[in-house]
Amino acid sequence: MEKVLFLLMAFMSLAVAADCQNRVTVHPDGRIEYDGEAGNRITKLGKSEVIDHSALDVVYQHIIKAPTYSEPRSIYEIMEVGKNIIKYGGYSNYRLDSVISTIDSTKITNNDFGRLYARWRGPNAVKEYMFTNLAERNITFHGRVFIDNYIYNEEIPEIEWVMAEGVDTVCGYVCHEAVCDFRGRRWTAWYTDDIALSNGPWKFNGLPGLILKIEDATGDHKFSAITVRHSDRPIYRDVKDPFTIERKEYNRSLAEYMNNPAGTISGSDLAPRNADGSEKKLPKRKLFFNPMELD
């Protein structure tokens, strides 16, 4: 049911901008296809700008458990480390951007983009990403609630770590153990002295080396590095006009939506309709969700 709801919402967000005379089909694999002339029109890609160049990329596997789902979900995320900026977000987004950068964007049709999206990004793509500005010591966080884009800013959090005695090997690097309490969860991290970067996945920072593995005490979230590689690729930032919001307000809005997406849709202009114009009743189901921050 979660996938059905996602596809319905993807359809509606696209249908807002679609030509009402052209039918849009959302396939089970997440591929979006336009019938008729609309499918052959050149797609309008979002604008982006280069803000730094990555010297190091770290790909993490992020395993998440959600309270109402029996099976965990495994997603992949990437940290792109530049001289002044660290970008962290979904690896599938990174792959899609990489593929599109090799194609003449003036020749990509709506249906071409639908196929690329389904293959390289898909319906379970990470919708949140963030930029850490090392010089200004702040984080710019980008998120999405239904069809609305949001942004919030915060200072790089100061995390109080307690060094432990454990030693492990992650991705070929000898790592040391450290523990912290951060925003409602207790985390155990493994960092390597071999890479002198005091950052890690998501917002984690403040250790004497790169964090290659970290998990919370409940087992709800676990990050493990699977690739550490040198890079010489531009770091891109999308040029958007999101709503500015506070961190806790964004977290509340996201939780409300993920725990009852039908409640967000019902009563809105995007609610599905029956042939007689009456609103279709959507089932109340929770999407796969378990927030990182509980404060």
Q: Where are the domains of the chain?
A: 1-294
Q: What is the pLDDT of residue 15?
A: 43
* Range 114-120 average pLDDT: 76
* Range 105-119 average pLDDT: 80
The radius of gyration computed from the CA coordinates of the chain, to the nearest angstrom, equals: 20
* Span 48-59, pLDDT tens digits: 899 999 999 999
Q: Is a pLDDT exceeding 70 seen at residue 10?
A: no
Give the C-alpha separation, 5 to 1, whole Å.
6
Q: Is a pLDDT exceeding 90 seen at residue 267?
A: no
Least confident span in 92-106, 131-145, 192-206: 92-106
Question: Using the 8-state DSSP alphabet, how is residue 284 labeled?
Answer: -
Q: Is a pLDDT exceeding 60 seen at residue 4?
A: no
Q: Is a pLDDT exceeding 90 seen at residue 280?
A: no
For the chain, the straight-line distance linking the first and the last C-alpha, in angstroms and rounded, comes to: 29
Q: What is the pLDDT of residue 33?
A: 74
List all residues 6 or more positions away from 103 whose beta carbon is below 8 Å from its beta carbon: none
Q: Is a pLDDT exceeding 80 seen at residue 9?
A: no
Query: Which residues in the chain belong to E strands, given as ranges?
Result: 24-26, 32-34, 48-64, 73-81, 85-90, 129-133, 138-145, 148-155, 162-170, 173-182, 185-192, 210-216, 221-238, 243-244
Q: Please give the model's pTM, rounded to 2 decimal places.
A: 0.86
Q: Is a pLDDT exceeding 50 seen at residue 8?
A: no
What amino acid is encoded at 77 in this protein? Answer: E
The two three-digit tokens of residue 228, written as one number:
């550490």
Q: Is a pLDDT exceeding 90 seen at residue 284?
A: no
Q: Is a pLDDT exceeding 70 seen at residue 269?
A: yes
* Range 120-146 average pLDDT: 90
Q: Is a pLDDT exceeding 80 seen at residue 157?
A: yes
Q: How many residues does the chain have?
A: 295
